Structure 1
Amino acid sequence: MSDLTNTLEDDTRMASFGDYVQLMKPRVMMLVVFTAFAGLIAAPGSMNWVTAASAVLAVALASGAAGALNMWYDHDIDAVMKRTMVRPVPAGLIPRDEALGLGLIMSAVSVTIMALASNPLAAGLLAFSIFFYAVVYTIWLKRSTSQNIVIGGAAGAFPPMIGWAAATGDAPLNAWLLFAIIFFWTPPHFWALSLWTSKEYGKAGVPMLPVTHGAKHTRLQILLYSILLLPLGMVPVATGLGGYAYLVAAFGLGVWFLWAAIRVFMSKAGDDSEIGENDLPHAKRLFGISIVYLFALFGVLAIEQGLGLYFATPFVWGGLS
């Protein structure tokens, strides 16, 4: 009797505040807000703390809006995959139309706050990032091409540029470098995840790279992107954005990331065999390392710039900030 009562309570449970938080993908939001804040801190000049806080709030709301719109559209494939079927929309806790409405309202509010708090460029970039994630990636690319995460990864690369634009009103080379680092970081980060969830993506009909080209090709692509990421992460030192602390961090983190990618490449992670299952920890380890890499790299940059621990290196080209 108690089991039946618990089942009925679960079936009739109303959405909680936590369910609405999950609708906005809080883990993704944390990374988005952090990189946007790092871009804001790394930008030259100073910014009123109220204005800065408003800009960061706008980015957080925009990230939540994009997450809600993503869950609204992906309700069907989320319901098929174990990793996502517990999300509030496929679980039946939040209606689809409510997720859509909340996503649209939050989008409008976030862009309005950014426009009032900073400048039109930052507001425009913020609006475009929401559109890119919700429409270009979620609605178009995700279900149509194995390069979905490569092209769609641009949506997650915008935050530091938005933060920079909010502080200065422009987006120079250094802002684009921060964009590029996240852009090239995204494929190996997400493909590491897809190596151990490829069967679920295949069942849901999502053409992730391991599904369309196999695990071996995916491991090669992870390695190639990781090789490119190592020198790219150190380029800000040459432009004067990063100092010696950043150089050490970028090199150390990049080597760590690359070593993890080499381990994945040499394994059979994602292969449809018993050996592949045993090698999946390499892919999971790379996924975890990739998150630490981005947080640490942008954290060092923000600390170095924010606390005035910047010392120009002999590699500076100059005039590019």
Structure 2
Amino acid sequence: MSDASYTQTVAKHGDAEMGDYFALLKPRVMTLVVFTAFVGLLAAPVTVHPFIAFCAILFIAIGGGASGALNMWWDADIDAIMKRTARRPIPAGKVTEGEALALGLGLSGFSVMFLGLATNWMAAGLLAFTIFFYVVVYTMWLKRWTPQNIVIGGAAGAFPPMIGWVAATGSISIEAVLMFALIFMWTPPHFWALALFMRSDYDDAGVPMLTVTHGRRATRIHILVYTVLLAVLALAMGFTSAGGPVYLVAAVILNALFLKGAYDIWRRDEVVSETDNFAVEKKFFKLSLAYLFLHFGAILIDAFLTRVGMWP
């Protein structure tokens, strides 16, 4: 995974602080994992004991962090090349690859086992599959092999709300599938927008992102197509038991803005976009960050209003 020159730069045992180990868990990504899993659990049409709910979210979060540590272990060589990731604990020389591997494997086993004990083994099995999919299927295989890496690999980030739902109900329903689909279809335009203005990073690291293999024009078309499909799925969620008036209003507004942003990206002229520092792409990327949180926030609000009797 790492060449000799890179290996010489890694940390020595004892150099790391607690914050460095925590950084291995990708806390920003973990925030999204925790939030969407929490929404999936709370939106389920059953009542879950608060302590069980807390344990479920805790173990899902730990499983997400374990995936992050294993991802950083495997990708340490390319992380050292890319500006966006060069300060991560391993390329920065604060944590060794072996420590990251041990932490990731240990937390993976711990989170799956205790989620099964706290809720049900179907939820635990989904968590185990999610970790496997993110680390093996996406990180080790797809990421460096195909420009569709982020499309297929996006499934890993889409599982948390489904796991939360299954932890509560013990089964999978159309609501859980649509929550999964919402994140799955959101991931490609979100990351492709980033890749449009960070293309040199992926070029330098040899990662076959769509912008590298097919160019920016093809990437812009893909963003528009996926955003249209995403809007259809997002609106469909509003007509299930997990949706409601708040969600429908939010979905209409957010998807109108998202479609407008995707259209603006699609119609960009390459010469113009180079001279204005990809302002449209950066705006779309920032909107994409809010897009997912606001959709799931609306689901959470409708679930709360349903529980207190304001919605049927």
- TM-score category, normalised to shorter length: over 0.9
Q: TM-score, normalised by structure 2?
A: 0.92
Q: Distance in 2 between matches of 1:178 and 1:184?
A: 10
Q: Partner of 2:300 in structure 1?
A: 302
Q: Partner of 2:89 in structure 1?
A: 88
Per-residue CA distance 1:43-66 (angstroms, 9 max, x = gap): 111001110000000111011100
- 1:19-168 counterparts in 2 under 5 A? 19-168=20-169
Q: Partner of 2:282 in structure 1?
A: 284
Q: Distance in 2 between matches of 1:277 and 1:139?
A: 36
Percent pairwise identity: 53
Is the 1:39–1:160 contact (alpha carbons within 8 Å) kept by the matching residues of 2? yes
- Shift of the alpha carbon at 1:279? 4.7
Q: Distance in 2 between matches of 1:73 and 1:103?
A: 11
Q: Distance in 2 between matches of 1:113 and 1:266?
A: 50
Q: Distance in 1 between matches of 2:242 and 2:76?
A: 42
Q: Distance in 1 between matches of 2:147 and 2:140?
A: 14
List runs of 5+ in structure 2 lacking aligned partners: 1-10
Q: Distance in 1 between matches of 2:54 and 2:259?
A: 35
Is the 2:305–2:311 contact (alpha carbons within 8 Å) kept by the matching residues of 1? no
Q: How many residues align?
A: 299
Q: Secondary structure at the match of 2:276?
A: helix
Q: Distance in 2 between matches of 1:181 and 1:168?
A: 20
Letter in 2 for 1:307: L
4+ runs deviating over 3 angstroms: 309-312
- Shift of the alpha carbon at 1:310? 6.2
Q: Distance in 2 between matches of 1:95 and 1:157?
A: 29
Q: Distance in 1 between matches of 2:296 and 2:156?
A: 17
Per-residue CA distance 1:67-96 (angstroms, 9 max, x = gap): 000000001100111111110011111000
Q: Distance in 2 between matches of 1:252 and 1:81?
A: 35
Q: Secondary structure at the match of 2:214?
A: helix
Q: Secondary structure at the match of 2:145?
A: coil
- 1:10-21 counterparts in 2 under 5 A? 14-21=15-22
Per-residue CA distance 1:243-277 (angstroms, 9 max, x = gap): 11111011111111111111222224xx5x57425
Q: Partner of 1:239 in structure 2?
A: 240
Is the 1:73–1:138 contact (alpha carbons within 8 Å) kept by the matching residues of 2? yes
Q: TM-score, normalised by structure 1?
A: 0.90
Per-residue CA distance 1:127-154 (angstroms, 9 max, x = gap): 0000000000000000000000000000
- Shift of the alpha carbon at 1:181? 0.7
